[in-house]
């Protein structure tokens, strides 16, 4: 008899057989795991692969039940299998004391649980436990008759479990879920990837990068004499990163100031490490609200070799998009390109994940060099201690190399709250380059404080009294959009720009280009950019004046990096002075246009205290401020670390929220919405570039519907504009409600 694994039509037009699915999952999963284990010398590869093989072989054993086969064959109509199909595999694996494989089988649809809960409740389904136990021998007989020898482990008992920590279990689990989801998509005829991704080829890409940097035009030294110094420092920094160090430390840092070319210089170091260590992938992790397209554009120009597809070489992942529903799985963005540029939200929430659709990409991380750009801003302080544990584990167990970079980097790893015996973390900048780089940074800006709370209308009116061009960064998407809309009446049409994650990537790119052109060419300084933190880091902009809603000391220093960036606004008669001010302001929380960000409550309070006593704002103050934030969240951080140590996968996933906004993917591009509705081919890249993340409560308020074709994807039908993004519709609805025109 031919047993089935899937009733959905395959490419051949027939249901998928049990044999085909199990063999595919075993083969693909083992290939993925072995690729990862090449970078895990501390583990016995045979022991880990045997454990994985057991999970892959038996993960769908329960599908062999007669009742499930009736549904899979179409003899009985049902949207769900009547017998939970993971239970039989768990039952068999527990009888041979294969605890970890049983856990992986239990979790391959449910997600990884808290292990202590499993000890109490068991991994078995109480509803069908006796039923399955009575039929287990028959399932195993059918299983053995259906499979070829290459798909079976042929071992009576598993080896002793290797010393896997929680992060390691996630890597092994990701190999299973990726193989399972990938085979399901292939069997259903979905086009997952047009071709295998290219390899890293670090030596060739390093040469290409060097040629690209050499071809860059120098900044005009005749217009601004300071550019003589700046150009020299950039070249010095690049060479410092390009030179071979005494050893490739698995953890290192870079504290070069803004404007010194970290994008290309640190990439040169990463490629050098990859070349020497035989690594397979490079990650560039940017702050969670950052605009990543600028870095991606540079890397695609600098790293792509002749004949290659730039989008296949450098993956651009703006936000976490992963879907558990079978129909939507192909839209999940995987980390399979040689160079992956993504956000801290997508990256670290994957490291914390227990959900199969999310964690499936994690098997691509071992054997990577990772650039944590603006590392101080990548996570809330309360999450950083656990993230540090992951950094150390992936460096020691999976051959990852990390570079933490920021011009205002706090050496948090030296604090006792993080590590009682921190590993050595050297600076990648050579001593000869370190001093001149720091001297240039000394006199770019001065800091000022406006403590009285301002309503949004009063805020933009005051903004117009400052020297332009002006950059103002506010704490939420809502407040920034409301302020940008109000500023039009003060500054005039064409003199207000807006940037936030309310805009889809294409519109953010267009706005950024327009801002850069205006900074370069316009003689009229009376204009402003109102944005969220997405412009605080990694964006090459330089304004005369900066304004920051109080958030944290680190955020204030980051904004300063977008002000007088190249020294172009220095005083006319005194090069030692500066005409550029960076203001800290408070907005009125009682104003309807202001939406507060609770994530900044503690850090903003600390910053206001420093400002009120006229403390000198400098990177040196960061360590004190950061230590205070860490100590105020010590109870939460300690609990999170203890739960991680005790295999509490579900708890860690639920609490490790980089942004606690409960958001969903919403497609806003009307052309893409039409393609989805008409069942035309749509890729994960299409979803990334044509969508935004919107908070659930906004989706509910705006009555935005979920796609029936791709569950988990919402189709934005309210107003959207390239200026305010999806906030165009939100603000319009709020204005109607305020005017008494709300629909009832």
- Domains detected in the chain: 4-187 (1.10.3210), 202-438 (3.40.50.300), 443-617 (3.40.50.300), 663-738 (no CATH)
| DSSP letter assigned to residue 669 | -
Q: Beta partners for 722?
A: none
Residue 265 has pLDDT above 80, yes or no: yes
| Backbone angles phi and psi of 89, in degrees to 5 | -60, -40
Residue 276 has pLDDT above 70, yes or no: yes
Query: What burial class does residue 701 get, using C-beta atoms within 10 Å of its C-beta: 0-12 exposed, 13-18 middle, 19+ buried?
Result: middle
Residue 205 has pLDDT above 50, yes or no: yes
What pLDDT, on the 0 to 100 scale, is given for residue 598?
85
Q: Per the confidence metrics, is the pTM higher than 0.85?
A: no
Q: For residue 161, give both structure tokens.
A: 């479990």
SS3 call for 255: coil
- Whether residue 5 contacts residue 14, with contact meaning beta carbons closer than 8 Å, is answered with no
* Pairing mode, strands 663-667 and 691-695: antiparallel
Sign of CA dihedral 562, 553, 454, 485: positive
Highest average pLDDT, of 155-164, 165-174, 501-510, comes from 165-174
Q: For residue 515, give both structure tokens.
A: 């801002």
| b/e code 203-212 from CB counts within 10 Å (16+ = b) | eebbebbbeb
Residue 228 has pLDDT above 70, yes or no: no
What pLDDT, on the 0 to 100 scale, is given for residue 680?
87
What pLDDT, on the 0 to 100 scale, is given for residue 328?
37
**Confidence label for 578 from pLDDT (cuts 50, 70 and 90):** low
Give the whole-angstrom CA distance, residue 30 versus residue 36: 10
- Whether residue 685 contacts residue 337, with contact meaning beta carbons closer than 8 Å, is answered with no
Give the whole-angstrom CA distance, residue 694 versus residue 665: 7
Percent of the chain at pLDDT > 70 equals: 87
Residue 366 has pLDDT above 90, yes or no: yes
Q: For residue 202, give both structure tokens.
A: 């670090």
Highest average pLDDT, of 339-348, 359-368, 598-607, 618-627, comes from 359-368
Q: For residue 154, give both structure tokens.
A: 């042929």
What pLDDT, on the 0 to 100 scale, is given for residue 524?
81
| Mean predicted lDDT score pLDDT of the chain | 86
Return the minimum-mean-pLDDT range out of 84-93, 152-161, 247-256.
Answer: 152-161
Highest average pLDDT, of 11-15, 381-385, 616-620, comes from 381-385
What pLDDT, on the 0 to 100 scale, is given for residue 189?
63
Q: For residue 622, give both structure tokens.
A: 């960061």
Give the whole-angstrom CA distance, residue 447 versus residue 564: 13
**Confidence label for 193 from pLDDT (cuts 50, 70 and 90):** low
Average pLDDT over residues 668-676: 91
Q: For residue 370, give both structure tokens.
A: 């990772």
* Pairing mode, strands 314-317 and 339-343: parallel
Euclidean distance between the first and the last CA atom of the chain, given in angstroms as a whole number: 60
What pLDDT, on the 0 to 100 scale, is given for residue 641?
94
What pLDDT, on the 0 to 100 scale, is given for residue 378?
80
What pLDDT, on the 0 to 100 scale, is given for residue 333?
62
Return the minimum-mean-pLDDT range out of 152-156, 203-207, 358-362, 368-372.
Answer: 152-156
Give the whole-angstrom CA distance, residue 558 versus residue 584: 13
Residue 697 CB neighbour total at 10 angstroms:
11
Residue from 443, 436, 439, 438 nearest 236 by CA: 436
Return the minimum-mean-pLDDT range out of 388-397, 428-437, 441-450.
Answer: 428-437
């Amino acid at each position: 008899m031919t047993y089935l694994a899937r009733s959905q039509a395959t490419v051949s037009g027939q249901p998928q057989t049990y044999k085909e699915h199990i063999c595919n999952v075993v083969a693909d999963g083992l290939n993925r795991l072995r690729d990862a284990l090449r970078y895990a010398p501390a583990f016995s590869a045979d022991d880990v692969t045997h454990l994985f093989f057991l999970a892959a072989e038996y993960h769908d054993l329960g599908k062999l039940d007669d009742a499930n086969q009736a549904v899979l064959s179409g003899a009985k109509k049902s949207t769900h299998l009547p017998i939970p199909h993971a239970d039989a595999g768990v039952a068999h694996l527990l009888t041979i004391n294969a605890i970890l494989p049983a856990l992986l089988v239990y979790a391959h649809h449910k997600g990884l649980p808290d292990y202590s809960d499993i000890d109490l409740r068991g991994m078995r389904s109480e509803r069908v436990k006796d039923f399955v136990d009575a039929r287990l021998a028959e399932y195993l007989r059918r299983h053995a008759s259906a499979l070829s020898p290459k798909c079976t482990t042929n071992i009576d008992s598993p080896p002793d479990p290797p010393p896997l920590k929680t992060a390691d279990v996630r890597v092994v689990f990701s190999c299973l879920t990726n193989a399972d989801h990938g085979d399901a998509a292939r069997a259903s005829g979905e086009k997952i990837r047009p071709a295998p991704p290219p390899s890293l080829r670090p030596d060739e890409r390093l040469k290409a990068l060097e040629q690209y940097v050499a071809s860059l035009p120098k900044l005009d030294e005749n217009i601004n004499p300071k550019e003589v110094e700046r150009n020299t420092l950039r070249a010095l920094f690049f060479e410092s990163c390009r030179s071979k160090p005494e050893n490739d430390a698995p953890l290192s840092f870079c504290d070069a100031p803004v404007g010194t070319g970290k994008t290309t210089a640190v990439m040169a170091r990463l490629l050098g490490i990859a070349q020497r260590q035989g690594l397979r992938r490079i990650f560039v992790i940017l702050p969670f609200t950052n605009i990543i397209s600028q870095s991606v554009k540079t890397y695609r120009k600098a790293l792509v070799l002749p004949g290659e597809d730039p989008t296949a070489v450098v993956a651009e992942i703006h936000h976490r998009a992963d879907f558990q529903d079978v129909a939507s799985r192909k839209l999940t963005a995987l980390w399979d390109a040689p160079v992956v540029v993504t956000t801290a939200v997508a990256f670290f929430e994957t490291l914390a994940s227990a959900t199969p659709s999310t964690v499936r990409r994690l098997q691509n991380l071992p054997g990577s060099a990772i650039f944590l750009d603006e590392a101080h801003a990548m996570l809330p302080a309360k999450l950083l201690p656990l993230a540090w544990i992951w950094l150390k584990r992936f460096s020691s167990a999976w051959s990852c190399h990390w570079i933490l970079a920021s011009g205002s980097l706090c050496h948090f790893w030296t604090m006792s709250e993080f590590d009682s015996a921190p590993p050595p973390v050297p600076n990648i900048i050579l001593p000869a380059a370190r001093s001149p780089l720091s001297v240039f940074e000394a006199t770019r800006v001065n800091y000022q404080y406006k403590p009285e709370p301002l309503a949004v209308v009063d805020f933009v009116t005051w903004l117009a009294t400052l020297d332009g061009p002006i950059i103002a960064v506010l704490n939420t998407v809502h407040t920034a959009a409301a302020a940008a809309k109000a500023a039009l009446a003060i500054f005039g049409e064409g003199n207000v720009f807006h940037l936030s994650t309310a805009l889809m990537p294409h519109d953010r790119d267009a706005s950024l280009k327009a801002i850069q052109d205006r900074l370069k060419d316009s003689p009229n300084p009376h204009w402003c950019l109102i944005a969220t933190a997405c412009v605080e880091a990694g964006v090459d902009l330089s304004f005369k004046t900066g304004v920051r809603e109080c958030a944290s000391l680190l955020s204030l220093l980051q904004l300063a990096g977008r002000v007088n960036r190249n020294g172009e606004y220095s005083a006319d008669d005194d090069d030692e002075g500066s005409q550029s001010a960076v203001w800290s302001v408070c907005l009125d929380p009682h104003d309807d246009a202001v939406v507060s960000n609770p994530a900044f409550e503690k850090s903003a309070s600390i910053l206001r205290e420093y400002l009120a006593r006229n403390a000198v704002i400098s990177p040196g103050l960061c360590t004190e401020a950061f230590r205070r934030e860490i100590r105020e969240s010590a109870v939460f951080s300690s609990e999170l670390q203890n739960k991680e140590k005790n295999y509490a996968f579900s708890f860690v996933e639920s609490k490790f929220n980089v942004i606690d906004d409960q958001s969903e993917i919403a497609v806003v591009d009307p052309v893409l919405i039409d393609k989805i509705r008409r069942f035309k081919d749509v890729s994960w890249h299409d979803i990334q570039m044509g969508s935004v993340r919107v908070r659930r409560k906004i989706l509910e308020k705006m009555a935005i519907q979920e796609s029936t074709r791709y569950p988990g994807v919402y189709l934005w039908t309210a107003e959207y504009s390239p200026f305010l993004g999806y906030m165009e519709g939100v603000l319009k609805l709020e204005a109607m409600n305020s005017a008494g025109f709300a629909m009832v």
